Amino acid sequence: MGGLSRRPRRFPELERLLEGSPLPPKKEIEALALPHIAPLGDARGSAEFKRSRAAMLLADALWKAYSGDESADPSGLGPAYSGCARGAKENT
């Protein structure tokens, strides 16, 4: 993930939790991710907001990759709320 610190980073401990089993529901992914995300607050948002939002975006990205459907929206809220304001097809 990017935007949480100076460099993008992976979360190998989270990868190990998810590897080898069906992808859990979005809310469960968010709960698993939260303890691994520790951004700093700044003018762009509080640390808690960034932490919560990063967990949501991570869950969305995993579900989109898992489903193979670029337009999949596991939140059911639509692109403006899922964190993906532009569809992936726009850039291809």
d(CA 17, CA 2): 20
pTM of the predicted protein model? 0.70
What are the boundaries of each domain within the chain?
12-91
Mention every residue, 6+ apart, whose C-beta is less than 8 A from residue 74. 26, 59, 60, 63, 64, 67, 82
Mean pLDDT computed over 5-11:
86
pLDDT at position 72 is 58
pLDDT at position 13 is 93
pLDDT of residue 38 exceeding 50, the answer is yes
pLDDT of residue 78 exceeding 50, the answer is yes
